[in-house]
A = this chain, B = another copy of it.
Amino acid sequence: MDNSDRCKIIVDAMGGDYAPQNAIVGAIDAERKNPGFDLFLVGKEKEIMKVLVDKNLSFDNSRIISAEEIIEMGDTPTEAIKKKLNSSIVVGARYVKEKKAHAFVSAGNTGAMMAASTLIMGRLPNVGRPTIGAEIPNVHGTCFLFDVGAGKDAKPNHLFEYAVMGTIYARELGGVSNPQVGILSMGEEESKGNEVTTAAYKLLKESKLNFVGNVEGRDILTGKVDVVVCDGFIGNILLKFGESVPKLLKHLLKKTAEKNFIDKIKIGLFKGTLKRALKDLDYQEHGGVPLLGINGISIIGHGSSTPKAIKNMVFRAYDMYKKNLNQKIEESLKEYANIIA
């Protein structure tokens, strides 16, 4: 592998509940549709070869990176990345660390991916804590929510970093020209925050970001601002709560169908329409979440990722590369080094 500037993306062939098949099929599909980057697959060589043969996929063997161990979904992240040095997650992260590749994409153990990204690839300068962002569909388009689980017990300076990184991400990847940023809180007034958000409010007020103040839970879906920052503990709870909403909806419709025959028929007729309407809520469409603040590109997928999700994760990694996202984050955080320190 040379060190020219052509984008190199590694996909963890062993990551996810349906690995290696989904990861390989999705990754190769991405490469076929977008010839701008070179794809590498990391994992157990024989298993990768078998899928390539079974699925009749052509892929240059020299771009298979051998890693004969697997970090399982149930493994303890920090322990696993220390012990399983020849696992696909550790090897993939090391390749990025050693500048042999620009991006690493995995639907494997989320905690291990976070740990490998943070500890092996390392953080960008002035990043106290990396952050995972989620793109939540709302009535105006998308809400970029940071953090959704990279950290917990965030300090005010961490929320500030999330706002800086989130702004750049929304602008570069989301196409929002001057993203408005809000802190997730119990009320709009500055005093309605908790200890941490109130202190973060003071920091953000003095920044050059397009900071509009506190926003409330409802403002995520009503699209009051483009970027919402919160402690990862809260963001993670919110994200999982949101993901379970379609289940409740299904249950409520079923209950209604049981009560009334006409409603039952209507619900039957309506199924396809509803599915189309809810398509935007399907995380497979988005395909994983970026871990920002890392010295390299790290995309983390849902364990249940489909080939389509993997493909979209690869596209996202390539987008981040093309937009020079990390360089922009680095430059912006440098400006605020005194606040973050």
**Are A248 and B152 closer than 8 Å at their CB atoms?**
no
**Are A149 and B186 closer than 8 Å at their CB atoms?**
yes
Selecting from A92-100, A231-239, A298-306, the interface stretch reads A231-239
Task: Mark each residue of chain A from 224 to 251: 1 if its CB lies under 8 Å from any CB of chain B, else 0.
Answer: 0000001111101111111111011101
Residues from 120 to 161 in A contacting B, C-beta threshold 8 Å:
137-139, 149, 152-153
Given contacts A153-B194, A256-B273, contact A247 B217 (CB under 8 A): no
Instruction: Identify A237's interface contact among B184, B240, B277, CB under 8 A.
Output: B184
Contacts of A281 in B (CB 8 A): 252
**Are A237 and B216 closer than 8 Å at their CB atoms?**
yes
Interface of A is mostly: helix
**Are A216 and B240 closer than 8 Å at their CB atoms?**
yes
Would you call A220 an interface residue if the criterion is a C-beta within 8 Å of the partner chain's C-beta atoms? yes
The CA of A185 and the CA of B222, in the complex, are separated in Å by: 25
Contacts of A193 in B (CB 8 A): 152
**Are B270 and A252 closer than 8 Å at their CB atoms?**
no
Report A215 CB to chain B, min CB distance, Å.
10
Contacts of A255 in B (CB 8 A): 277
**Are B256 and A239 closer than 8 Å at their CB atoms?**
no
Would you call A46 an interface residue if the criterion is a C-beta within 8 Å of the partner chain's C-beta atoms? no
The CA of A222 and the CA of B240, in the complex, are separated in Å by: 11
**Are B152 and A194 closer than 8 Å at their CB atoms?**
yes
Contacts of A267 in B (CB 8 A): 270, 273
The CA of A206 and the CA of B217, in the complex, are separated in Å by: 33
Contacts of A278 in B (CB 8 A): 252
Report A268 CB to chain B, min CB distance, Å.
11
Instruction: Identify A238's interface contact among B217, B252, B266, B274, CB under 8 A.
Output: B217
**Are B245 and A221 closer than 8 Å at their CB atoms?**
yes
Looking at A240, A248, A251, A276, the one whose CB has the most chain B CB atoms below 10 A away is A248
Beta-carbon nearest neighbor of A248 in chain B = B221
**Are B273 and A263 closer than 8 Å at their CB atoms?**
yes
Given contacts A217-B238, A244-B220, A255-B277, contact A194 B233 (CB under 8 A): yes
Would you call A53 an interface residue if the criterion is a C-beta within 8 Å of the partner chain's C-beta atoms? no
Residues from 251 to 296 in A contacting B, C-beta threshold 8 Å:
251-253, 255-256, 260, 263, 266-267, 269-270, 273-274, 276-278, 280-281
**Are A152 and B236 closer than 8 Å at their CB atoms?**
no
Would you call A2 an interface residue if the criterion is a C-beta within 8 Å of the partner chain's C-beta atoms? no
Contacts of A276 in B (CB 8 A): 256, 260, 263
Beta-carbon nearest neighbor of A191 in chain B = B76
Looking at A231, A240, A253, A273, the one whose CB has the most chain B CB atoms below 10 A away is A273
**Are B240 and A241 closer than 8 Å at their CB atoms?**
no
Would you call A54 an interface residue if the criterion is a C-beta within 8 Å of the partner chain's C-beta atoms? no
Contacts of A185 in B (CB 8 A): 233, 237
| 5 new A-B contacts at CB < 8 Å, known A222-B244, A249-B249 | A217-B239, A221-B247, A252-B281, A263-B273, A266-B273
**A–B pairs, 29, beta carbons within 8 Å:** A138-B248, A139-B247, A139-B251, A149-B186, A152-B194, A153-B194, A186-B233, A186-B237, A194-B233, A217-B239, A218-B241, A218-B243, A218-B247, A219-B244, A221-B244, A221-B245, A221-B248, A222-B247, A230-B237, A233-B234, A234-B237, A241-B241, A252-B281, A253-B273, A256-B273, A256-B276, A263-B276, A267-B273, A269-B270
